[in-house]
Every structure is written in C-alpha cells, then in structure tokens.
Structure 1
Amino acid sequence: MTIIPIGHSLSSLSRWRKLPPMMKTSSPAALVRGPADHEVRDQIVLAATEHFSRYGYEKTTVSDLAKAIGFSKAYIYKFFESKQAIGEMICANCLSKIETEVKAAIDQADRPPEKLRRMFKAVVELSLQLFSQDRKLYEIATSAATERWLSTLAYEERVRIMLRGILEEGRQSGDFERKTPLDETVMAIYLVLRPFLHPLILQHSLDYTEDAPGQLSSLVLRSLSP
C-alpha cells in the first residue's frame, strides 16, 4: 500500500522539484532494458511477484529468480539491470492500481468537498488492502519507501497532483478559501495523508484507519472553508 510506499518531507519535495528535468521525469522504465513492450519482461515480473510473495524480497537474489523462472541470470539482465529494477516494476504496478481506483472514487463525486472526502477514504482503504494482502510483498513496499525508489516518488507526486486538482476546482467553485498559497495547502493536506501512504508508518496507525478518513477529511475541509 507506496506500497506506496511512501512519503517524504516538505524539504525533500523542494529538492524533488529542483532536480534537473531528466531526473525529475525518471521512472521505473529507466531501469529496464530492451524493447519497451516485451512478453518476456512481463513473464519475469509475474514470476518474480509470485516468488517474492513466497520467499520475500530481501532474501531473494537474481540467481534465485533465474532458477525459479527457468531463465539464465544473464537473460534476466537483458531486461532488468538489477533486482531492484524488478521490484520497481512490481511496486509501480501495485501503485498504479491504487491510483486508478482513487481516481475512480474521486470521479464519483460532483463537488470538490465530497471529492476530497472520497480521496481520503479510498487512499486509506486501498493502502490497507495492498499492504495487508501479502506480507511478503509488503517487504517490497517497505524497501521502496525506505530507499525512496523512483516508483514511490512518482506516485507521491501524482497524489499531490490529484490533491491540487481538487483544490483548484474548489477554489474556482467558491467551496475553498483562496488566501493560502496553493502549494502550501497541497503539501499540508498531503502530510495529513502521509501516514496512510507510507507502509512503515501505516503499520502503526492500524487502530485509527476506520475512523481516520472521515475525521481527518472533515478537519481539512473546515480549514479550507472560505
């Protein structure tokens, strides 16, 4: 649940925004090799997901994967530069599913306040689902969060973009105040969500996940009142 893993501080966001264009737009795709679309790469990712689920990410080597998949180690390296590159693809796939469902939840609402409520609810529920359905894959999420993989950084940025879109719409409709700088508001709300995006923090917030989405979104909406 980025996953997704998943979060960094205000100062790290500033550094992220100041990165050179090539680094800022990097993605897990930058860590893969060969043709953009290739059936073998998909087979490797699927097999690696199953293998990590059974034996864990940290304990698995590329040699282990090669033996389990039936490919040579050298052949796997034709498509991925490292075990982390494979983990990045798995992580990106999981976070993409969360993002798609969060967007779907937001789109079901007509007005910005309800969109924000639905976003909070969906983010918490889907993160819990991702991080609890498979404890071995949870290791990938924690590695991604701890080591700040590109897949999680990109996901965090897209979450902030979704927030920005809701806030801009709410300011235009008159539902939200306009005095606070937009960037400041986006980051503040993101930091409220952060404990439920980051797998290492989420595991210490399980007692609050049922009530948190409603209570936190209500608090945020009161602060946004014009």
Structure 2
Amino acid sequence: MIYNLRGKLTACDINFIVVECGGVGFKCFTSLNTAKQLGEIGKEINVFTHLAVREDAMDLYAFATTAELDAFKLLITVSGIGPKAAVAILSELTPDRLALCIASGDAKSITAAQGVGKKTAERVVLELKDKIGSIATEAASVTVSNLQKNIDNSASAEAIEALVSLGYSQSDAAVVVGSLDSSMSVDEMIRYGLKELAKNL
C-alpha cells in the first residue's frame, strides 16, 4: 500500500495530477479542493494516497490532507458510493463541511456533487451520521457535537425548518441554530439565525 507520495507536480488536470518520484510519474485521481491547494506545476508536493483495486484497473487517489483522505475512505464504505463519486463529493465539500452536512441531515448540499442523486446523498447521511467524528477537525467536531445535541430539540428543529424555507441550506441553518441556547424560543432562534446568516452573505 502506498501511503503518500512526495515529489514534483508535473501535471494537473481537472480530475487528476501527476507526481514524479524518482523518475516515475504517478497519475493520481484527485478532488478539485486538493488540486487548488497544490499550487503550480514544478512545485515539490506531498500527497496522501489510496490505491483502489478493481478487476480491470488499479487507480491511485491522492489528497492534500489526511483529513480529506479519511473522508474519502469513509465515503467509499457507503453502499453505492465508489471512488469517483467520493471524489466528486470532496470536490464540492471540504471534510469539515461534509461532516456538518451529515450531522445536520443536509443531503441537498451533497447532491451538488456531479453524479450524486438525492437517494445516494440521503444514504451518505444515513450511513455516516454516527461515524463523522473521524473526519472533522477539532473546531468542526465541537460544532458537530452541538448540532447532534440540539437537532432533536423541537424548537431547534422548527427554527432550522423556518430558515431553510427562507432559502438557507440546512447545514448553514443547523450550524447557527445548533450554537444557540436550547431554552430560547423558536422566534428568538429564527431572529438570531437570520442575523448571523446575513453576515455570511
């Protein structure tokens, strides 16, 4: 198993990179998020890899961070999600954002990934909701933990639903509402939520 590759970035396309190590160029499929982080052609880089073995191919997938690699490995455990779909999801969402989407039940944001439909996104949320702690950074883990505590509170759920009906994504609404005191009224949560969400526009 190849854990990482350190070498010169010799090519960077929309869905793959080539890393030259010891005179050998390794073609690695990757996410747009990783491709953006790697910089210019000719730069020395280090990427973390996963080798996907099929009957007809051996494909190498590379990521700029171990968090993104861990998210990739977690995604491919979901039934119906192969390496290409996992890369598509990670091209749309960072590992932290993915963790927040799963914690808040925001399947809609996951469907923004190319080739990922509503049912597949819902399966990702369902199958990974108890496993997301392994992919979120420390700061995001606190937010995810707050979300999971407050999401079952009926006032919180009502406030999130109201914010979503006003056009905000479920994960954004859930993050804001999840940070509030659960003893607040629904109206207070909505007012505060609108104020906080407006700051990010």
* TM score, norm. by length of structure 1: 0.28
- Considering fraction of residues, name the structure with more strand: 2
| Structure with greater helix share of residues | 1
Name which structure has the greater RCO, CA cutoff 8 Å, separation 6+: 1
